[in-house]
Structure 1
Amino acid sequence: MFSPAVTDHWTPAGDLGRPELAVVVDDGLPANRAVMVLELAEGGGLVTLTPGHAETLGLADGSRTSPAAVLDALSRAGVAMNDPDHLFYLPLAEQAVVQAESLPPTTRLLGPADASAFAVFERSAPAADLDEAFVELDHWAVLGSFDDERLVCAASAYPWQGTHLADLGVLTLPGDRGRGLGRRTVRALSAEALARGHQPQYRCQQDNTASIALAGAAGFRRYGRWHVISGDD
């Protein structure tokens, strides 16, 4: 269903079994990834953690545990985790559809010549939305949709953690939502990422219902839920 670039990154061991999580102890994890829990949408997943955290939680490499058990153990051990992200990817069948779509002239790639329009766009957007979407004009790939000369929706992506996954963000100005601009711009950005040899990756918080709805409307399907250790831990 999903590209091998996705499954090889998240589950290199292949079939992990269901419904339990496989435990992987890795002494090469950086501090900001010292504990990770991946719950796959189809069941099963991974707990990846450093030897020190594995000892604290009483988990052995190659063992299995349930999502509830490991999250409870983390809580009891005082290991703070960030709120989980939903992970969405385009199924292989949908990728061919996305790449074959034609765009209206009002949706196009953005570059340095669009700096003034992008600055106006940023000033028009709520600060909290800008922070959450993380759409930047100097990212690896940037697409925008215009209403006349006004930039009303922008999406950008960058290669994620040295992989061939392109992490994307999208933002539509509040007064222009509900017009399908987010869907169109995300699909256009996805086609651009695929043309550059990367898999578009859509992440959002599990309580962001509007973003979850946009992911589905743009053809993405949920791959799993990803918990990462808090940077304050």
Structure 2
Amino acid sequence: MDRADQYWAEVFHVERAELRRPGVHFTYVDEPRAGIYVLQLDETVRVRAPMRRRADVDGIRIETALDGAVWRAALADSDPVVLGPAAHYLAGEDIPSSREARVPSIDEVRRMTERIPPEEVEESGVLDPDVDRFGLWAAGTLAALSSLSPWVGGRTDVGLLVAPGFRGRGLGRRVAAMALNAATRRSGIARWRCREENAASVAIALGFGLQPYARNLGIRL
């Protein structure tokens, strides 16, 4: 948790000892094209936003900071894309994996993602550049995919995607273990993020014994 706290302290330009000070706190950056990021840590909410949106952001309260509808109304002129709210979980110990990791080709990944709603693909991060990917196949078809994107200590941010026709078979847990094992073995930490209403993903995180850490909302302008 200390490593994660240090990371977020740098994101919000505060000392680590100040990161969890209760209340709502705003960090404004001189990056006109930046989006808005909201992070809740227990009784603390931190908001990072471009300076040009300060008038719209200053009125956000702790009770509504992770309410997508409130942000859509406040930023209606920019047609915002709101992602989340999502839950964060951390692994700080090695997660065992019973299968040897196999790496899918990018063509296989693209064929798989064509069958899945774009918003699910985007949030999983499996098509992002600079990621490690791990796959499981069923009947010769890529059925489940996990990925590791850059975060604390290297590639430690876990993404997960299972093709609709293969869900409910435990493939998500098996392929997730590959990514978690790789991250914790190499870097000693892994982060798991998922939409809070995604009960299957939450169950996987808790089943691995990952530690609840934070909640977030991301807004693209």
**So what's the TM-score if we normalise by structure 1?**
0.68
Partner of 1:26: 28
Equivalent position SS for 1:31: coil
Aligned to 2:37: 36
Structure 2 counterpart of 1:183: 173
Alignment pair present for 1:142 and 2:133 = yes
Aligned twin of 2:209: 219
In the alignment, is the contact (CA less than 8 A) between 2:131 and 2:155 conserved in 1?
no
Residue 63 of structure 2 aligns with which residue? 68
Equivalent residues in 2 for 1:28-177, closer than 5 Å: 28-29=30-31, 31-33=33-35, 35-40=36-41, 42-54=42-54, 66-68=61-63, 78-79=74-75, 82-92=82-92, 95-96=93-94, 98=95, 101-105=96-100, 108-110=101-103, 114=105, 118=109, 121-122=112-113, 125-128=115-118, 129-136=120-127, 139-147=130-138, 149-160=140-151, 164=154, 166-177=156-167
**1:210-230, CA deviations, whole angstroms, 9 ceiling, x for partnerless residues?**
333333334333322222333
Cα separation, partners in 2 of 1:173 and 1:79, compared to 1, 3 Å: closer
The alpha carbon displacement at 1:175 in A equals 3.2
Please name the residue that 1:201 is paired with.
191
Distance change in 2, residues 1:214/1:202 (3 Å): same
Q: Which has the larger radius of gyration?
A: 1
Q: Secondary structure at the match of 2:173?
A: helix
Q: Count residues in correspondence.
A: 208
Are 1:229 and 2:191 an aligned pair?
A: no
Which of 8, 13, 17 does residue 16 from structure 2 map onto? 13
Please tell me the residue identity of whatever aligns with 1:180.
G
Deviation at 1:85, TM superposition (A): 3.2
Instruction: Please tell me the root mean square deviation across aligned C-alpha atoms, in Å.
Output: 3.7
The separation in 2 between residues aligned to 1:169 and 1:150, in whole angstroms, is 19
Deviations 1:29-60 (A, max 9, x none): 45323x432112x322323334444455557x
Preserved contact between residue 88 and residue 215 of structure 2 (Cα < 8 Å): no
Q: Secondary structure at 2:6's aligned position in 1?
A: helix
Deviation readout 1:183-202 (Å, 9 max, x if unpaired): 12112102212344374332
Q: Secondary structure at the match of 1:159?
A: strand
Find the aligned partners of 2:49 and 2:166 in 1 and give their Cα distance.
43
Evaluate the alpha carbon distance shift between residue 229 and residue 144 of structure 1 in structure 2; reply closer, same or farther with a 3 A threshold. Answer: closer
More strand by share: 2
Q: Please give the secondary structure, in 2, of the residue aligned with 1:26.
A: strand
Unaligned runs of 5+ in 2: 10-14
Q: 2:12 maps to which residue?
A: none
Counterpart of 2:98, as a letter, is: L
In the TM superposition, residue 207 of structure 1 has moved relative to its aligned partner by: 3.1
Would you say the 8 A contact 1:5–1:165 is kept in 2? no
User: Aligned in 2, Cα 1:71/1:176: closer, same or farther, shift over 3 Å?
Assistant: closer
**Paired residues of 1:145 and 1:153 also in contact (CA < 8 A):** yes
Tell me how far apart the structure 1 counterparts of residues 4 and 53 of structure 2 sit (CA, whole Å): 26
Aligned match of 1:62: none
Distance 1:110 1:202 in 2: 20
Secondary structure of 2:43's partner? coil
Q: Secondary structure of 1:37's partner?
A: strand
* C-alpha contact 1:88 1:220 (8 A) present in aligned 2: no
Normalised by the size of structure 2, how large is the TM-score? 0.71
* 2:219 alignment partner AA: I
Aligned-partner Cα distance in 2 for 1:226–1:199: 19
- 2: CA distance between counterparts of 1:146 and 1:71? 37
